[in-house]
């Protein structure tokens, strides 16, 4: 049962790169702060590899129901012992998030590449929040393409390019799946 809006949230460098060798190939505190603000008090859903990419002291992500997807029952038990809820499919994770945090206005899918791809394939997301990073970098994990049926939402002043303290240019973009309430 899907009761809440479901969003995907990611940060993306040139050519769609979102990850490399199990981590994110940049350090952008401004994006981490934006992620924290956007997902505050909402459940977050992630693949097992994204969970493992989080520094141990930050997982589960505080003040948010953390649902981690794994196909491995043994691994799922150890994830639960670390404080995550677990699901064996993305659909199950979305349902569980809705049940555990019924008052949240959104459920956020927070990666990684495999989970975003499945969310697109199964058309499970209503919204996409993308931090576009003006950076060429090596990667092995990619963002999905938001093609037909997705429309950009203009948010002023957040749509403009900003320059991070470390000099990296970035901007926040929001897209909605057309035809959804
Ligand atoms: N830039 C960003 O905003 C952002 C955000 C998130 C992650 N990332 C990056 O993305 C990379 C990780 O992404 P990834 O694609 O390699 O891995 P992932 O999507 O985080 O996790 C993949 C794992 O999730 C489980 N899984 C996925 N789909 C499943 C399904 N349908 N049924 C059951 N289990 C399923 C499997 O775990 P088991 O093997 O345990 O079965 C699978 O190995 C890292 O580099 C990370 O830093 C970037």
Say if residue 158's pLDDT is above 90.
no
DSSP E strand stretches across 48-89: 66-69, 85-87
- What does the block give as tokens for 153? 């939402």
For residues 125 and 93, give the distance between their C-alpha atoms in angstroms, rounded to a whole number: 13
Task: Output the residue whose Cα is nearest ligand 1's atom 21.
Answer: 47
- 21 torsion bin: left (phi>0), alpha (psi -120 to 50), beta (else): left
Assigned CATH topology for domain 5-177: Dihydrofolate Reductase, subunit A (3.40.430)
Closest ligand 1 atom to residue 113 Cα is 15
Task: Output the residue whose Cα is nearest ligand 1's atom 35.
Answer: 70
Report how far ligand 1's centroid is from the alpha carbon of 49 (Å).
5
pLDDT tens, position by position, 30-48: 999 999 999 999 999 999 9
What pLDDT is attached to residue 15?
A: 97
Check: CB of residue 24 under 8 Å from CB of residue 54.
Answer: no
Place of tokens 């769609």: 16
What is the pLDDT of the chain when averaged over all its residues?
Answer: 95
Report how far ligand 1's centroid is from the alpha carbon of 69 (Å).
8
pLDDT tens, position by position, 59-96: 999 999 999 999 999 999 999 999 999 999 999 999 99
Domain ranges of the chain: 5-177
Q: Which of 71, 75, 137 best tests ligand 1's pocket when mutated (most atoms within 8 Å of CB)?
A: 71
Report how far ligand 1's centroid is from the alpha carbon of 103 (Å).
27
């Amino acid at each position: 049962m899907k009761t809440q809006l479901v969003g995907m949230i990611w940060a993306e460098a040139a050519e769609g790169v979102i990850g490399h060798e199990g981590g994110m190939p940049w350090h952008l505190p401004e994006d981490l702060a934006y992620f924290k603000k956007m997902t505050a008090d909402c459940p977050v859903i992630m693949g097992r590899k994204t969970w493992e990419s989080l520094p141990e002291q930050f997982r589960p992500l505080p003040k948010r129901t953390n649902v981690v997807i794994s196909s491995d029952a043994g691994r799922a038990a150890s994830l639960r012992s670390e404080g995550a809820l677990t699901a064996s499919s993305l659909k199950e994770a979305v349902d569980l998030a809705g049940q555990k945090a019924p008052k949240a206005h959104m459920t956020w899918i927070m990666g990684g590449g495999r989970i975003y791809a499945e969310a697109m394939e199964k058309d499970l997301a209503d919204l996409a929040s993308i931090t576009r990073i003006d950076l060429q970098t090596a990667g092995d994990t990619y963002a999905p393409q938001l093609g037909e049926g997705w429309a950009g939402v203009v948010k002023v002043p957040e749509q403009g390019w900003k320059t991070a303290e470390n000099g990296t240019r970035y901007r926040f973009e929001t897209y909605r799946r057309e035809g959804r309430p």
